[in-house]
Amino acid sequence: MKQGKAIVVFSGGQDSTTCLFWAKERYAEVEAVTFDYGQRHCLEIECAKEIAKELDVKHHILDMSLLNQLAPNALTRTDIEVADGEDGELPSTFVPGRNLLFMSFAGVLASQVGAKHIVTGVCETDFSGYPDCRDIFIKSLNVTLNLSMDDTFVIETPLMWLNKAQTWELADKLGALDFVRERTLTCYNGVIADGCGECPSCKLRQNGLDEYLTLKKGLKA
């Protein structure tokens, strides 16, 4: 039987939508939280809204525009190019402190709505060089959140050790492969579903999907 309540940190992208399906299968009650920080594409927020509505999940949208005030970056500013980090530099899409802030606010919300579980789609395998997607950061923050509120939150990271192909596999196991493929937005150029095909995010997503579908075909044959 499903038990407990979870807050899913939800962007409307492939990873967090897969996490939302994962949480719905696991917990009696699930709510989603989306952070609006002036993303290049407000379509991202619209996507998230529609998915939450369709999955019948209570959806909180929090204004985090201060993040863009503090740290202008390639995700919020069209005059900054999306580029992979070279020679050990962080990619231009890295927003300093983003997950620290988002997860902290998710923790405050969780305490308000009485949720013990906080679910996030961060992933160390495909972490693109983001330090705040690493398992050690999440574990450290979990301790900090619990100390700060004298509570016993559990941060769940179902995708932490999966590669993109395995994330597609998880969506498929949850009966959500087509939904995730058709309804989510991960493209830096704001193209829904299979995306623009050109940006780093689309390439990662498509390569993972191809790899998984090939594997699945192989298993059936």
Binding residues for ATP: 10-20
**Which residues participate in the annotated binding site?**
10-20, 187, 196, 199, 202
Minimum separation from the CB atom of position 191 to Zn ion (A): 6
> Under rule CB under 5 A, how many of the chain's residues touch Zn ion?
6
- Polymer length of the chain: 221
Q: Which residues contact 221 (CB under 8 A, 6 or more apart)?
A: none
Binding mask 168-207 for Zn ion (x = CB under 5 A): -------------------x-x-----xx--x--x-----
Q: How far is the CB of 207 from Zn ion (least distance, A)?
A: 13
Q: How far is the CB of 11 from Zn ion (least distance, A)?
A: 15
Quote the CA–CA distance of 149 and 60 in Å, as a whole number: 21
Q: How far is the CB of 137 from Zn ion (least distance, A)?
A: 26
CB closer to Zn ion, 82 vs 165: 82
Cα(30)–Cα(7) distance, rounded to whole angstroms? 6
Q: How many CA atoms does the CB half-sphere of 193 hold within 13 Å?
A: 4
From residue 59, alpha-carbon distances to 12, 49, 110, 156, 192 in Å are: 11, 7, 13, 19, 20
Q: Tell me, what DSSP letter sits at residue 59?
A: E
The nearer residue to Zn ion, 15 or 31, going by C-beta atoms, is: 15
Non-local CB neighbours of 116 within 8 Å, separated by 6+ positions: 4, 5, 6, 110, 152, 153, 154
Residue ranges of the binding site for Zn(2+): 187, 196, 199, 202
Q: How far is the CB of 215 from Zn ion (least distance, A)?
A: 23
Which residue matches tokens 């923790």? 107
Q: In b/e form, how buried is each residue of 177-187, taking b as 16+ CB within 10 angstroms? A: bebbbebbbbb
Q: Would you say 111 or 189 has its CB closer to Zn ion?
A: 189
Judged by beta carbon, residue 118 or residue 187, the one nearer Zn ion is 187
Q: Which is nearer to Zn ion, 13 or 195 (CB)?
A: 195
User: Contact positions toward Zn ion, by CB under 5 A?
Assistant: 187, 189, 195-196, 199, 202
